């Protein structure tokens, strides 16, 4: 592939002149500019971003560290991030961690090597290790105490409370909660908000603990767990996210338990899957566009050297009633 | 962030020595190596990948150009690519095109700037323009005639034929096909395989043309289209992909049309969504892991300078019967 030396040789101009023209860093005569552009077109030359990154420390890369793209909420969020960053002239390097702390640390080290200008970290399993990274960073869904990393998150605690209030208003009193892994801060808070609100009304929901998020290798995990419970005991179920709620709905349909007549069912996320199910899934919305925009806005404030005083940014959730409640 | 000059200054050794040590490109005494590593640890230094990319033309980046990550088949495929490339020490730069030719060309230009070592292009809308790119490239789901770009694809034509044969065996004679956009080569071939096989048996399926893939901005597009048709006329439906089949299933459920009793329904992809639906969706499987592995294997053969003689690699599909047929 042609490089800057080839352009200099072909145009008979100096590397310095070519560099000034390409990077708009100084004066180039109109005649030289014309000649350089002609040679660039002829040689099908694209400026080398690595040279730019070395020269002005602007790699134009943002690292996106996510558990995986299998959960539809994460794939939607990644797609929005890509879109917003594309508009700003940035690309994404994507690293999946499968919720492994080791893989996350490896990914961060890798992104450091690429001198990414910023990192968006989704559902981090790291804590104090993040202090060492020294790259502008937004943590989505995981707070890091005693340090400067900005967190953006839905208000999961209030979202859990909204879930209870909605089911309560619909007349549900015999509640079940499918709880996400304890290591996921967001689903832990949804659980706490749900339980605290229920307790205030004198209701003690039963809990089923899930060790994992939805997992391709283990698509029927839910069936094995649920078969130990009698679903007829409950009149309302709140599930920690939409994709597991979709599995729950499929399970209830298979057991001929009618939703919403026999049991009301509520998810969390408002991912696109809600509208693909029948009945369509009621859920607590994490406003995905606001969340994505806030992450990008704050990340670029840090990149631009501004001080961000508020460390924890909570985005308000709301109930989206469809047909399962 | 510390750079190679800082390491040289702190260790009292030359930049050349440090570079030989970091890049393993020549002799460094044991004593010097020890000293350099100590300083690297102290200064929390990570080698700059951009310098490496300039020095040895190995950027260790693969570009992944996909329409979006919203379709669960694409998000699953992207996750597998990331995993396979991570094992090889490569990262992914992700670019979404929303099936726009302009965005795809922009993405390719961008990836050229980052001197990616290879590109995986999913459902490309470009044709001859790809000749100009001059980067090792695998096209997934789009053949480029008269040039050297290797295509990997499910055997969509045969998959379409399998769809017909399966519905025919199940006793369906009044067939409907929901056909994907004509600009998607893969869904066009599914349509042709389906229709050709049906015609051989003297059956003329009705066709409903969809202008778009599943689209977040337009989640109820299907309802508006289907309301112009009387679903009771059909006993078997083949839909061009799983996510649109999921919408079809939701639509039929809402219209109290029983699947599979009244109508048998078949998707295409075997994405994870099939097992989330009730009844669970029967589909034609694109073997996703074989497809991903073949793409990576061929891409690295090209990167390593090997000649790949076969230009079009078709992966055999198969019927996965679940509960909708």
Q: What is the reported pLDDT for A305?
A: 92
Sheet holding A91-96, edge to edge: A312-315, A150-154, A137-140, A118-122, A61-66, A91-96, B91-96, B61-66, B118-122, B137-140, B150-154, B312-315
Query: Could you report the per-residue pLDDT of B204-262, keeping only the tens digit for each?
Result: 999 999 887 777 776 778 888 899 999 999 999 999 999 999 999 999 999 999 999 99
Query: Which candidate from B50, B214, B254 shows the least CB-CB separation from A278?
Result: B254
Clarify whether residues B264 and B217 are in a common domain: yes
DSSP character string of B240-309: SSHHHHHHHHHHHHHTT--TTTT-EEEEEE--GGGGGSSSPPEEEE--HHHHHHHHHHHHHHHHTT----
What is the three-class DSSP state of A217?
helix
Dihedral sign for Cα B56, A106, B90, B94, please. Answer: negative
Whether A196 and A131 share a structural domain: no
A179 to chain B nearest CA, in Å?
19
Residue B302 and residue B292: Cα distance in Å, rounded? 16
* Peptide bond between residue A38 and the one before it cis (omega within 30 degrees of 0): no
Tell me, yes or no, whether A20 and A36 share the same domain: yes
pLDDT class for B146, splitting at 50, 70, 90? low
Return the minimum-mean-pLDDT range out of B11-20, B138-147, B221-230, B299-308.
B138-147
Separation of alpha carbons B319 and B244, rounded Å: 18
Q: Alpha helix (H) ranges present in chain A?
A: 4-11, 15-23, 30-43, 49-56, 72-87, 101-113, 156-169, 185-200, 221-226, 242-254, 288-303
**Once rounded to an integer, what is the mean pLDDT over residues B259-275?**
96
CB contact under 8 A, A113 and B48: yes
DSSP structural state of residue A151 = E
Chain B partners within 8 Å of A91 (Cβ): 93-95, 110, 114
Does residue A216 contact residue B76 with C-beta atoms inside 8 Å?
yes
Q: Are B64 and B116 in contact (CB under 8 A)?
A: no
Give me the pLDDT at residue A42, please: 87
Residue A325 lies in a domain: no
Look at residue A1 in the predicted model and tell me its pLDDT: 72
CB contact under 8 A, A115 and B219: no
Chain B: give the shortest CA distance to residue A47, in Å: 6
Partners of A272 on chain B (C-beta within 8 Å) are 70, 214, 216, 219
User: Which chain A residues are closer than 8 Å to B83 by Cβ?
Assistant: 96
Same domain for B109 and B251? no
Are A267 and A281 spatial neighbours (Cβ–Cβ below 8 Å)?
yes
Tell me the two tokens of residue A203: 């209701």
Name the DSSP letter for residue A218: G
CB-CB neighbors (< 8 A) of A1 in chain B: 112, 115, 134
H or E stretch at B189: helix B185-200
pLDDT above 80 (res A161): yes
CATH number of the domain enclosing A37: 1.10.260.40
Give chain A positions within 8 Å (CB) of B94. Answer: 64, 78, 82, 91-94
Query: What is residue B12's predicted lDDT score, i.e. its pLDDT?
Result: 92
Residue B29 lies in a domain: yes
End-to-end CA distance of chain A: 60
Question: Which of B44, B254, B272 lies at the smallest CB-CB distance from A219?
Answer: B272
CA distances (Å), origin A303, targets A136, A138, B1 = 6, 11, 14
The structural domain count of chain B equals: 3
pLDDT digit string, tens, across residues B288-317: 999 999 999 999 999 999 989 899 999 999
Task: Classify burial at B116, counting beta carbons within 10 Å of its beta carbon; exposed 0-12, middle 13-18, buried 19 or more.
Answer: buried
Give the nearest partner residue to A91 out of B79, B95, B247, using CB atoms: B95
- B274 domain residue, yes or no: yes
CA distance A38 to chain B (A): 17
Q: How far is CA B246 from the centre of its chain?
A: 20
Q: Which residues of B touch A76 (CB under 8 A)?
A: 69-70, 216
Give the separation between CA B8 and CA B2, rounded to whole angstroms.
11
Across the interface, of A53, A64, A278, the residue whose CB is closest to B50 is A53
CA nearest to B135 within chain A: A1
Does residue A120 or residue B47 have the better pLDDT? A120
Rounded to a whole number of angstroms, the distance from the CA of A53 to the nearest CA of chain B is 7
Same domain flag for B149 and B31: no
What mean pLDDT is reported for chain B?
92
Same structural domain, B299 and B188: no
Tens of pLDDT, residue by residue over A222-270, are 888 899 999 999 999 999 999 999 999 999 999 999 999 999 999 999 9
Q: pLDDT for A3-21, tens place per residue?
A: 888 899 999 999 889 888 8
Chain A partners within 8 Å of B87 (Cβ):
none
The candidate with the shortest Cα–Cα distance to B123, out of B200, B188, B177, is B188
Nearest by CB to residue B94, choosing from A94, A114, A243, is: A94
Instruction: Render pLDDT for B49-83 as a digit per residue (tens, 0 to 9).
Output: 887 777 777 889 999 999 999 889 999 999 999 99
Chain A: nearest CA to B79, how far in angstroms? 6
Angle at B142 between CA B136 and CA B143, to 5 degrees: 75
Question: Chain A residue closest to B56 (CA)?
Answer: A50
pLDDT of residue A57: 72
Mutate to test the interface with A, among B3, B56, B69 (most CBs of A within 10 A): B69
Q: Nearest residue on chain A to B91, judged by CA atoms?
A: A93
In tens, the pLDDT along A265-323 reads 999 999 999 999 999 999 999 999 999 999 999 999 999 999 898 999 999 999 999 99
Quick check: is A321 in a domain? no
CA dihedral sign, ordered B316, B322, B324, B325: positive
Contact A250 B79 (CB under 8 A): no
Is residue A126 domain-shared with residue A160, that is, in the same domain? Answer: no
**Contact criterion met (CB < 8 Å) for A250 and B91:** no
- Tell me the per-residue pLDDT of A36-80, one tens digit each, with 9 for 90 and over: 999 988 888 888 888 777 777 788 999 999 999 988 999 999 999
Q: Which residues of B touch A75 (CB under 8 A)?
A: 69-70, 72, 75
Closest CA to A11 of B131, A20, B108: A20
Cα(first)–Cα(last) distance of chain B, in Å? Answer: 60
Which CATH number goes with the domain that contains A134? 3.40.50.2300
Q: Tell me, yes or no, whether B141 and B193 share the same domain.
A: no
Higher pLDDT, A126 or A175: A175
Instruction: Decide if A121 is inside a domain.
Output: yes
Are the beta carbons of A246 and A149 closer than 8 angstroms?
no
Give the pairing type, strands A175-179 and A236-239: parallel
Same domain membership, residue A209 and residue A247: yes
Please state whether the peptide bond connecting residue B252 to the residue before it is cis, i.e. omega within 30 degrees of 0: no
CA distance B318 to B325: 15
- Regarding whether B233 and B208 lie in a shared domain, the answer is yes
Query: Do A180 and A281 fall into the same domain?
Result: yes
Are the CB atoms for A214 and A72 separated by under 8 Å? Answer: no
Q: Do B70 and A92 touch (CB under 8 A)?
A: no
3-state secondary structure of A154: strand
| A–B CB contacts, 8 A cutoff, strictly below | 157
User: Average pLDDT, stretch A96-103?
Assistant: 93
pLDDT for B83-114, tens place per residue? 999 999 999 999 999 999 999 999 999 999 89
In Å, how far is A274's CA from the nearest CA of chain B?
A: 10
Give the distance, in angstroms, between the CA of residue B77 and the centroid of all CA atoms in the same chain.
5
Q: B83: nearest CA in chain A?
A: A96
Nearest CA in chain B to A46: B113
pLDDT band, very low/low/confident/very high, at A146 (cuts 50, 70, 90)? low
In a domain, residue A52? The reply is no
Residue A53 lies in a domain: no
Looking at the complex, report in whole angstroms how far the Cα of residue B135 sits from the nearest Cα belonging to chain A: 9
Distance from the A118 Cα atom to the nearest Cα atom in chain B, whole angstroms = 13
Contact A76 B94 (CB under 8 A): no
Residues in chain B with CB shorter than 8 Å from the CB of A112 are: 1, 46
Q: Are residues B226 and B273 in the same domain?
A: yes
Instruction: Determine the residue of chain B that is closest to A42 in CA distance.
Output: B132
What is the pLDDT averaged over residues A92-96? 95
Q: Domain range holding A138? A: 61-154+288-316
In a domain, B103, yes or no: yes
Among A69, A255, A257, pick the best mutation site for testing chain B contact (most B Cβ within 10 A): A69
Per-residue confidence (pLDDT) for residue A132, from 0 to 100: 79
Assess whether pLDDT exceeds 90 at residue B279.
yes
- What mean pLDDT is predicted for residues B149-173? 97
Residue of A93, A113, A224, A275 for testing the chain B interface, max B β-carbons within 10 Å? A113
């Amino acid at each position: 592939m042609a490089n800057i030396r080839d352009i200099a040789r072909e145009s008979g101009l100096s590397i310095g002149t070519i560099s000034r023209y390409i990077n708009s860093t100084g004066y180039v005569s109109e005649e030289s500019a014309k000649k350089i552009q002609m040679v660039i077109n002829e040689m099908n030359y694209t400026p080398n971003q690595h040279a730019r990154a070395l020269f002005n420390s602007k790699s134009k890369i943002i690292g996106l560290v996510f558990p995986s793209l299998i959960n539809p909420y994460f794939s939607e969020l990644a797609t929005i991030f890509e879109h917003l960053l594309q508009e700003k002239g940035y690309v994404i390097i994507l690293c999946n961690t499968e919720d492994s702390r080791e893989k996350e640390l490896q990914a961060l080290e890798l992104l450091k090597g690429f001198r990414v200008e910023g990192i968006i970290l989704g559902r981090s399993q790291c804590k104090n290790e993040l202090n060492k990274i020294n790259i502008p960073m937004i943590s989505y869904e995981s707070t890091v105490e005693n340090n400067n990393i900005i967190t953006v998150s839905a208000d999961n605690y209030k979202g859990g409370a909204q879930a209870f209030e909605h089911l309560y208003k619909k007349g549900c009193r015999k509640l079940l909660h499918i709880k996400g892994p304890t290591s996921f801060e967001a689903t832990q808070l949804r659980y706490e908000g749900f339980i605290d609100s229920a307790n205030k009304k004198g209701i003690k929901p039963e809990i089923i603990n899930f060790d994992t998020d939805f997992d391709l290798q283990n698509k029927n995990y839910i069936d094995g767990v649920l078969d130990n419970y009698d679903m007829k005991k409950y009149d309302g179920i709140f599930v920690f996210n939409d994709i597991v709620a979709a599995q729950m709905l499929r399970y209830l349909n298979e057991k001929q338990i009618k939703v919403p007549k026999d049991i009301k069912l509520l998810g969390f996320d408002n991912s696109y899957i809600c509208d693909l199910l029948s009945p369509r899934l009621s859920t607590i919305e994490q406003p995905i566009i606001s969340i994505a925009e806030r992450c990008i806005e704050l990340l670029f404030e840090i990149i631009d050297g501004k001080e961000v005083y508020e460390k924890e940014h909570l985005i308000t959730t709301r109930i989206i009633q469809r047909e399962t409640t």
